Structure 1
């Protein structure tokens, strides 16, 4: 590659990134929709995105916790709205996205955070209803929401779709078929979306955390999880939120189709 070619390529990179300016981390003027944002990790994502300057739609099946998180952001000087919704309702996706875009002025960042964990069971004990429910939450709902968001993402100068996946989507533990299969399928969805829309500048990525210190991890599992993680503790919601904010920012303008592990080294030892 000649020096002239290198120079030409360099000028194509965003100047904010080239300068490594703090401005590259900022999200002013952008609108984010975060599912499952009323509590736990989703709440942390919404709070940090708002702190970086984004207007945030807090979507949660529980209206009270959605409203509480939105008010918390507003009280801190940010901009947020709360929307109570069951994202597994196929007919809701277009109405939900349209409402967010109308009330906040568009949509730039879509964070698929909502999720559940059912009992850890083997194949013969897997409950059909639970299996269908997790496929609906982890695969069908993100597909429908992303499809509904496309017209708005295409208008954005920095469109992002971010999946909160799991390390068990990459390395299954041999139990909880519903959870493991749905998370592996979600990674397939992420990569397929990334490949289809990379030519339009829509960046699609996932974060694959280990066990997060939230109410979704039962107390009886915490010590065993800590013992299995090389860094000796569970990941905090705010640490996952930092990865979300990074992927949403101009600093991540050259990243798409990737699964970012935030798991304390768990994959290194094959968990």
Structure 2
């Protein structure tokens, strides 16, 4: 018996289609704040965001390196200011948000990059103070900063919150308890923020790098890590910064609550 074939009703194409201009990746007119922006990967994030046209507030516990990076950006024609504070303290985190927004008149992009060296220890040798410190910089600091920044983000035409997490927040290595737990908790914080604020147009995401060629990676660790990574090397800070700049741009206007791996294929082979 022949049966009539039921066809699903066709979906009409949207009346308007977003067309990205050749300058969609540009950040001209936007203001970014980068924590831990004085050196390493944070410095690369700040420099690239400035190169794309954003004014950048560089926050670092080390005032000297924050000033050096800001000066370098200004020497190449960018706009930058240097701020120094212990952002694990709520009052100081609120202060740097206020100072950055007052300096440039707005705040559009938060890059939660600040981090600490982790200790390679098992559970029995995990130091309580180190554990608490890692939770403070990875969880408490971005919580304080984002909460303080909400009034400005809500006024932004393209608000972004970007966490610099780690592949070890997704796949623990069996030791380094403070670092692994802090990064996993940070991903939970990111996803919770993403769900709460996506309806307001505030896009919250994370980049989850593998090992990066910065001072946080001990020299004795590099050779073994390079052998394990399918691409055969560690990431350069600028390779992580390019993903940060993408998430900050109009090209990422439909991405929310995602943890984007940038690790040379490390997760493919389970490291």
Calculate the TM-score normalised by the size of structure 1.
Answer: 0.95
**In structure 2, what is the equivalent of residue 175 of structure 1?**
175
Which residues in structure 2 correspond to 1:48-197 (within 5 Å)? Answer: 48-197=48-197
Which residues in structure 2 correspond to 1:16-31 (within 5 Å)? Answer: 16=20, 21-31=21-31
**In structure 2, what is the equivalent of residue 7 of structure 1?**
14
SS in 1 for 2:12: helix
Provide the C-alpha distance between the structure 2 equivalents of 1:14 and 1:65, rounded to a whole number of angstroms: 41
Provide the C-alpha distance between the structure 2 equivalents of 1:104 and 1:3, rounded to a whole number of angstroms: 48
TM-align CA RMSD: 1.1
Classify 1:33/1:2 alpha carbon distance in 2 versus 1 (closer, same or farther; 3 Å). Answer: farther
SS in 1 for 2:133: helix
Question: Over alpha carbons, which structure has the higher Rg?
Answer: 2
Deviation string, structure 1 residues 113-153 (Cα, Å, up to 9, x no partner): 00012211111100000000000000011001000000000
Provide the C-alpha distance between the structure 2 equivalents of 1:51 and 1:66, rounded to a whole number of angstroms: 17
Q: Mark the runs of 5 or more structure 1 residues left unpaired by the alignment.
A: none
Provide the C-alpha distance between the structure 2 equivalents of 1:104 and 1:119, rounded to a whole number of angstroms: 38
SS in 1 for 2:53: coil
For these two proteins, the number of residue pairs brought into alignment is 264
Structure that is richer in helix per residue = 1
Calculate the TM-score normalised by the size of structure 2.
Answer: 0.95
Q: Does the CA-based 8 Å contact 2:85-2:93 persist in structure 1?
A: no
Provide the C-alpha distance between the structure 1 equivalents of 2:93 and 2:22, rounded to a whole number of angstroms: 34
Q: Shift of the alpha carbon at 1:22?
A: 2.6
**In structure 2, what is the equivalent of residue 204 of structure 1?**
204
